């Protein structure tokens, strides 16, 4: 066939780096699937599932005494934790260029709120401060990073037009901050929604929030009560924008500390003991520091922990994370049209929103527990729980983003619109969200460890159950280092693919 002048002959397709990266992640996940145990072992899940389903349609709102107070306390913990975290994060964002600050922030946010709470529980007991700090500390780390990135992106033309001699402080408050204020405000309010989830989940380990009663209801099989609690929680999240008005925030934050409730008194000696005895590796306690035996004991201690626990825990963590990451991506791409104005009318979108709110607000922990009943103990319940939860979050964000895409008047419709217009145009943003979520998914695998899936979190939970805090802290440190590494890798990939940094909202 003769070539037409001016049109080059078709060559082998050249894939963009974005496509190649996506393909690589899918391939890795497929490889992980070969090693992961995803068998279904239940023989008779239906009797329990029937009870769960029956509970879901017969919510019992009268079952929890003092439900109003529980809801208020859930909000109060979120408010106090997020307020402290946001202010701390804002202050830290001003010095975020310092390496030490960046690394500190990366490591504190690498540890899930639940584990922070378990650590604080050792020293502060079930005091309200345990819950507030468990939210505030990791959130400060996250906010610091996002605020710093947002401020960096502030428009410079305005800065350049300032008269010479304008002080740094004035420039900051009158030029830089106003420019990004909307973003910071939006991000902080998004953080508050996360804070509500965190606050509820902290109830699982004993704080007086919704999770406390949810855990009880679930572990006792009172599914009607559990359904009532979940519905209240969904309503709380869904109505957030109606009651969380900017003008009222100040008032809320003023009242919140008084709603946290009392708790055990804080004893300085417990804090000292925790720092000077509990976290010291057992072989070093009381052993002479000059004796060889002490150090060989420490070597054995660290070696055993690394080989018997940290290593298998890490393998399980990687398998679960990579599979769940790709499953999350696939699900998000499938779900986002449900809430996108480009595809559906208001009725379908409302249904879509309800579904996504339910999926993203149900703690992964509970999803995994239900699937565990259904399929038995393998990695499958964890994979599905993580991908539903995170897929719903990213689906929601991508859906919102797709609304802003401007279409030609003669754009295709239906599946063609999806495949040839919208997906290609939102794909970069989608990947950015997904890569931001990578680290989050890894952090969440640890939580599922508490349910018995042998990730690093499982071994941390075992060490805490045995009151071996030295081992717990060591394993938490390994977990944190691992998360920081994934975070760094994700940033590198995002930079290479030139994906937006504003995706921190995920």
Partner 1 sequence: MMRSRSTLLLFSLVSLLLFGGVTPQAFADTFVFTAIPDEDEARLRQRFNKVAAYLSKELGVETKYVPVKSYAAAVTAFRNNQVQLAWFGGLSGVRARNLVPGSEAIAQGYEDQAFLTYFIAHASTGLKSSGTFPAGMAGKTFTFGSKGSTSGRLMPEYYVRQNFNKAPDEVFTKVGFSGNHAKTIALVQSGAYQVGAVNFKVWENNLKSGKIDPAKVAIIWTTPPYPDYQWTIRGDVDQRWKPGFKQRVTEVLLNMKDPDLLASFPRKNFIPAKNADYQPILDVAKQIKLID
Binding site for partner 1 (CB under 8 A): 41-45, 47-48, 80, 83-84, 87, 121-123, 125-129, 132, 178, 181, 204-206, 212, 215-216, 219-221, 246-247, 249-254, 256-258, 262-267, 270, 282, 372-373, 375-378, 451-452, 461-462, 464-468
CA 222 vs CA 42, 226, 380: distances in Å: 21, 6, 25
Q: Closer to partner 1 at the Cβ: 297 or 428?
A: 297
Could you give the C-alpha distances from 89 to 80, 109, 145, 155, in angstroms and in order? 14, 11, 8, 21
> Which one-letter DSSP state was computed for residue 310?
I
Residue 384 or 431 with smaller CB distance to partner 1 = 384
Residue 239 beta carbon to partner 1: minimum distance, rounded to whole angstroms: 22
CA distances for 44 relative to 40, 332, 374, 496, angstroms: 11, 31, 8, 49
In angstroms, give the least distance from the CB of 490 to partner 1. Answer: 32
Closer of 139 and 401 to partner 1 (Cβ): 139
Rounding to the nearest 10 degrees, give the CA dihedral for residues 108, 109, 114, 117: 30
> Closest distance between partner 1 and the C-beta of residue 83, in Å?
6
Question: How far is 68 from 62, CA to CA, in rounded Å?
Answer: 11
Token couple for 351: 């249904």
Smallest gap from residue 441 Cβ to partner 1 (A): 22
Shortest CB 40 distance to partner 1, Å: 10
Instruction: Please identify, using beta-carbon distances, which residue of 305 and 335 lies nearer to partner 1.
Output: 305
Contacts 24+ apart (CB under 8 A), 182-189: 183/150, 183/502, 184/90, 184/147, 184/150, 185/246, 186/505, 187/143, 187/146, 187/147, 187/150, 187/504, 187/505, 188/82, 188/86, 188/143, 189/240, 189/244
The dihedral through the CA atoms of 36, 440, 16, 417 has a sign that is: positive
Tokens 């709120």 belong to which residue? 113
Q: Least distance from C-beta 124 to partner 1, angstroms?
A: 8
Q: Which is nearer to partner 1, 266 or 351 (CB)?
A: 266
Alpha helices, H only, 346-422: 346-361, 364-375, 380-403, 414-416
Find, among 497, 426, 499, the residue nearest to 16 by Cα: 497
CB of 266 to partner 1, least distance (A): 6
- The residue among 114 and 142 lying less far from partner 1, judged by its C-beta, is 114
Give whichever of 167 and 246 is closer to partner 1, judged by the CB atom. 246
Which residues, at least 6 apart from 428, have a Cβ–Cβ distance to it below 8 Å?
Answer: 18, 497, 499, 500
- In a 13 Å sphere around the CA of 122, the CA atoms on its Cβ side amount to 23
Shortest Cβ 123–partner 1 spacing (Å): 8
Token pair of 168 as six digits: 């740094």
Q: Which is nearer to partner 1, 379 or 397 (CB)?
A: 379
Q: Which is nearer to partner 1, 252 or 474 (CB)?
A: 252
């Amino acid at each position: 066939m003769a070539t037409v002048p001016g049109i080059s002959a078709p060559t082998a397709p050249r894939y963009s780096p974005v496509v190649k990266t996506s393909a690589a992640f899918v391939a890795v996940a497929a490889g992980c699937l070969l090693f992961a145990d995803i068998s279904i072992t239940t023989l008779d899940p239906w009797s329990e599932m029937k009870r769960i389903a029956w509970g879901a349609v017969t919510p019992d709102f009268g079952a929890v005494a003092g439900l109003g107070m529980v809801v208020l306390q859930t909000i109060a913990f979120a408010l106090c934790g997020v307020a402290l975290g946001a202010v701390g994060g804002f202050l830290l964002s001003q010095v975020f260029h310092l390496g030490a600050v960046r690394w500190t922030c990366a490591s504190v946010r690498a540890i899930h709120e639940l584990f922070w709470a378990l650590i604080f529980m050792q020293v502060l007991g079930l005091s309200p401060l345990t819950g507030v700090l468990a939210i505030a500390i990791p959130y400060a780390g996250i906010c610091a990073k996002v605020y710093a990135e947002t401020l960096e992106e502030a428009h410079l033309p305005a800065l350049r037009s300032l008269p010479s001699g304008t002080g740094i402080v004035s420039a900051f408050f009158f030029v830089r901050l106003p420019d990004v204020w909307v973003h910071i405000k939006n991000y902080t309010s998004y953080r508050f929604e996360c804070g509500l989830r965190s606050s509820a989940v902290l109830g699982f380990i004993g704080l007086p929030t919704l999770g406390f009663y949810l855990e009880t209801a679930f572990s006792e099989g009172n599914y009607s009560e559990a359904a009532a609690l979940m519905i209240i929680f969904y309503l709380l999240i869904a109505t957030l924008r109606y009651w969380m008005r900017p003008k009222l925030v100040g008032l809320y934050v003023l009242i919140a500390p008084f709603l946290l409730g009392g708790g055990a008194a804080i004893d300085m000696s417990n804090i000292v003991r925790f720092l000077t005895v509990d976290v010291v590796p057992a072989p070093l306690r009381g052993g002479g520091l000059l004796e060889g035996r002490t150090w060989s004991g420490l070597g054995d201690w660290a070696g055993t922990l690394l080989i018997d626990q940290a290593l298998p825990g890490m393998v399980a963590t990687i398998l679960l994370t990579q599979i769940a990451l790709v499953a999350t991506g696939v699900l998000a791409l499938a779900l986002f049209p449900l809430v996108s104005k480009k595809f559906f009318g208001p009725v379908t979108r409302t249904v879509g929103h309800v579904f996504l709110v339910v999926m993203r607000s149900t703690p992964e922990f509970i999803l995994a527990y239900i699937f565990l009943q259904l399929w038995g103990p393998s990695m499958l319940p964890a994979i599905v729980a993580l991908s539903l939860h995170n897929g719903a979050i990213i689906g929601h964000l991508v859906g919102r983003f797709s609304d802003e895409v401007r279409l030609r008047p003669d754009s295709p419709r239906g599946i063609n619109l999806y495949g040839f217009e919208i997906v290609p145009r939102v794909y970069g943003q989608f990947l950015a969200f997904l890569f931001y979520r990578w680290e989050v998914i890894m952090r969440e695998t640890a939580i599922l460890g508490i349910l018995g899936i042998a990730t690093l979190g499982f071994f941390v939970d075992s060490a805490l159950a045995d009151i071996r805090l030295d081992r717990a802290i060591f394993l938490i440190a390994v977990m944190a280092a691992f998360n920081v590494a994934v975070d760094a890798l994700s940033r590198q990939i995002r930079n290479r693919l030139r994906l937006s940094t504003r995706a921190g909202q995920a």
